[in-house]
Amino acid sequence: MTLIWILISSKTADNMECPGKHGQKYGTPCGHPLMPGKHGQKYGKDEKNMLVSMKAILDDANKNYYGVMAMNSINIEMARAGIMAAEEEHSPIIVQFGPGQMKNHAHAEEMLPVIRELASRVHVPVALNLDHGSDFYTITDCINRGFTNVMYDGSSLPYEENVKRTAIITALAHGMGCSVEGELGHVGQADHEDDSDTDLYTDPELALDFVEKTGIDALAVAIGTAHGAYPKGKIPKLDFERLHQLKETLNMPLVLHGGSGSGEENLKKAVAGGINKINVCTDAFEAGKTAMLKELEEKPGTDYMHLCMAAEAGIKQFVRDYMKVIGSSGRYIYGEAKQAGNE
């Protein structure tokens, strides 16, 4: 299949409307209020919120040596717990979901208005990321809808094919003001013990070639973590020397997938070694589940609404604690302002 690229002037693009799921129009220009501009400014004159480019968040984290939590948030309770925790911790946050989660539960057309509204209530930066995108049409649909970052996962492909496809996605996304995360090396599954397969780890010199050829804004690296839940009692052993080499070679935001179950000390060392974005899904789900089970144990007759409230409170506390561990808490405390004129 041959892809045909059509370049559209910014003036024309601003007047285009994005098609909805069944061809309907949202009535919002493709330069959504969600979408950051070329230099980080937000498009849109009528809607103001703190939904910004993930690149803007991670560039600051890279410059100032801290990590940012990227939590898979599949419903309003999770999204609200994460964003309000970020507000209380004066921390940036990345809200994300993957294609499977969008298909099964976190439908993009329903979740985006929620996240826009929540971002309008806070005073800290929030990014919206597509996690582990691989299908071209799913990724471009997310860009059109107003995701502020997309992650293209071509890590299972041959190297040259990964480069080619990642570069195409990056060119397309950047043209819409959307940043891009790529992956080199392969973060597998914890139950397959992929974390111990060093052949899957990211090679620093190859990573430099990959970044230069694709133009991505952040790179997910494989240094010993895995997706999902580890066997009980297992803490993964991370290759911190490799991480150091990657950071020295690339000097850009690096991403740790499979943050769940990695252990507090590993997380602190990973951030100190150059990780700026940490993906969290399994641990967040578990925090919600644990809170609901505790509520049921203490109040067997409780109803569904109060179970949802308990889950949200549990996830919110989990997020606040996590932000303290990875160093993002307190990054957006302005301090008391003093009047200096005739205001």
What is the reported pLDDT for 57?
98
Please report the pLDDT score of residue 238 as a whole number: 87
Cα 90 from Cα 328, distance rounded (Å): 8
d(CA 54, CA 33): 15
Whether the CB-CB separation of 188 and 197 falls below 8 Å is answered with yes
How many C-beta atoms surround the C-beta of residue 240 within 10 A?
16
Beta strand 25-29 with 17-19 is antiparallel
Question: Environment class of residue 38 by beta-carbon count within 10 Å: exposed (0-12), middle (13-18) or buried (19+)?
Answer: exposed
In order, the DSSP letters of 200-264 are: GSPPHHHHHHHHHHH--SEEEE-SS--BSPPSTT--PPP-HHHHHHHHHHH-S-EEES--TTS-H
Do residues 42 and 136 touch, judged by C-beta distance below 8 A? no
Q: Cβ(207)–Cβ(183) under 8 Å?
A: no
Instruction: Name the residues annotated as catalytic.
Output: 131
Strands 254-256 and 218-221, bridge-based pairing = parallel
Phi, psi of 220 (to 5 degrees): -80, 125
CATH level 3 topology of 28-326: TIM Barrel (3.20.20)
Judge contact between 261 and 57, C-beta under 8 A.
no
Burial of 317 (0-12, 13-18, 19+ CB in 10 A): middle
The residues of the chain scoring below 50 in pLDDT are: 1-46, 189-196, 227-230, 234
Q: Render the burial of 79-117: b for 16+ CB within 10 Å, e for the rest.
A: bbbbbbbbbebbbbbbbbbbbebbeeebebeebbebbbe
CA distances (Å), origin 121, targets 49, 51, 247, 249, 323:
7, 11, 35, 39, 20
pLDDT at 165: 98
Q: How far apart are CA 94 and CA 83, in angstroms?
A: 9
Judge whether 68 and 276 are in contact, CB under 8 Å: yes
Query: What pLDDT is stored for residue 47 in this prediction?
Result: 55
The domain spans of the chain are 28-326
How far apart, in Å, do the first and last CA atoms of the chain sit? Answer: 62
> Does residue 289 contact residue 318 with C-beta atoms inside 8 Å?
no
